[in-house]
Amino acid sequence: MERVEHHASFGGWQDVYQHDSISLGCSMRFGVYLPPQVEDVKAPVLYWLSGLTCTEQNFITKASAQRFAAEHGIILVAPDTSPRGEGVADDEAYDLGQGAGFYLNASQAPWSSHFKMYDYVVDELPALIESSFPATDRRSISGHSMGGHGALTIALKNPGRYKSVSAFSPIVAPTQVPWGKKAFTAYLGNDPENWKQYDTVELIKTAQERLPILVDQGGDDEFLAVQLRPNLLKAACDEHGHPLTLNQRPGYDHSYYFIESFIGNHLAHHAEALS
Ligand SMILES: N[C@@H](CCC(=O)N[C@@H](CSC=O)C(=O)NCC(=O)O)C(=O)O
């Protein structure tokens, strides 16, 4: 593992590391924010999953989360959104291939040889973080859009592994919307039954743990009606008694200006669960 960036930030350090990922079979980068508290004690970790087209850079440069992580003593880990490199399959479209890993394990060629973001985020990255940094095994998870889908599905599929979960503008029902149908057909094949294992609305029905979900959604989000459809999450949570706080934010769009405006609330939510 090699450190490729190192910046002082709010009394701690915003770093970027590069390493050879076993699950993904390629070199990967992730951002890690180390709050000032880790000089003395180990800190819990919030994993952030970014959306389509993002790398590890978007969150660490645009979300302004470091101020709150320093306040609460939380390590932030922000991985890239897919495997990368010349030997990795790709597509010209922004919503498939590199930059669009959808936090699943692909079963279909040519994607299946590298697109294992689920294994990377759930197992490989936490093992690396907890063995290489002053991190405890208390974990929370959050994300945006495709990354909100990743955070919600990963928390629902791994009861007990995360202390809290939240999302900004998540894709809550990928089996029902264009982004998800396109990606899941490519990565998982034509049978929609195989897609349900990575669909939040489907997973809510059989969740083993009713971990409260915090979601913020912009009212002027350009993807709201077609791709995100938070009403489907609300209906599923109501029907199955799953605790949900869905904050509708009039006037906000899908951008990091929206995330930046409410990231402090999400950090406070996770800090309470992680303490
Ligand atoms: N039309 C855009 C679509 C890409 C986009 O909006 N990406 C979002 C996430 S969308 C869902 O996962 C994003 O986070 N972009 C990066 C940013 O810094 O804003 C395009 O073609 O790029």
The torsion defined by the Cα of 187, 188, 191 and 195, in degrees rounded to 10, comes to -110
Q: Is ipTM over 0.85?
A: yes
- 252 Cβ contact partners less than 8 Å away, ≥ 6 residues apart: 218, 219, 220, 221, 258, 261
Q: Does ligand 1 lie within 6 Å of residue 256's CB atom?
A: yes
Among 53, 54, 98, name the best residue to mutate to test ligand 1's pocket (greatest count of ligand atoms within 8 A of Cβ).
53
> pLDDT in tens for each of the 275 residues of the chain?
999 999 999 999 999 999 999 999 999 999 999 999 999 999 999 999 999 999 999 999 999 999 999 999 999 999 999 999 999 999 999 999 999 999 999 999 999 999 999 999 999 999 999 999 999 999 999 999 999 999 999 999 999 999 999 999 999 999 999 999 999 999 999 999 999 999 999 999 999 999 999 999 999 999 999 999 999 999 999 999 999 999 999 999 999 999 999 999 999 999 999 99
Q: Is 82 in the pocket of ligand 1 (CB under 6 A)?
A: no
Tell me if the pTM is above 0.80.
yes
Q: Is the dihedral of CA 258, 104, 88, 30 positive or negative?
A: positive
Instruction: Look up residue 51 and give its two tokens.
Output: 């959306």
pLDDT tens by residue, 223-266: 999 999 999 999 999 999 999 999 999 999 999 999 999 999 99
Protein residue with least CA distance to atom 13, ligand 1: 51
Amino acid letter for position 93:
A
Query: Which atom of ligand 1 lies closest to the CA of 51?
Result: 12
Pocket test for ligand 1, best of 48, 49, 52, 57 (most atoms within 8 A of CB): 52
In this structure, are residues 179 and 172 in contact, taking their beta carbons and an 8 Å threshold? no
User: Pairing between strand 135-143 and 213-218?
Assistant: unpaired
pLDDT digits (tens, 9 = 90+) for 4-26: 999 999 999 999 999 999 999 99
Is the preceding omega at residue 110 within 30 degrees of 0, hence cis?
Answer: yes
3-state secondary structure 106-140: CCCCCHHHCCEHHHHHHHHHHHHHHHHCCEEEEEE
pLDDT at residue 180, as a whole number = 98
CA of 53 to the centre of ligand 1 (A): 6
* Sole residue written with tokens 């002053």: 134
Residues forming the active site? 145, 221, 254
Strand order in the sheet with 244-249: 2-9, 12-21, 26-34, 75-79, 43-49, 135-143, 165-168, 213-218, 244-249
**How far is it, in rounded angstroms, from Cα 88 to Cα 82?**
10
Query: Ligand 1 atom 14: the closest Cα is on which residue?
Result: 51
DSSP strand pairing (75-79 vs 244-249)? unpaired
Structure tokens at 58: 């978007």
Average pLDDT, the chain: 98
Q: Residue 115: count other Cβ atoms within 10 Å of its Cβ.
A: 30
What is the residue whose two structure tokens read 């706080």?
245
Q: Tokens 């409410």 belong to which residue? A: 262
Distance 47 CA to ligand 1 centre (A): 19
DSSP 216: E
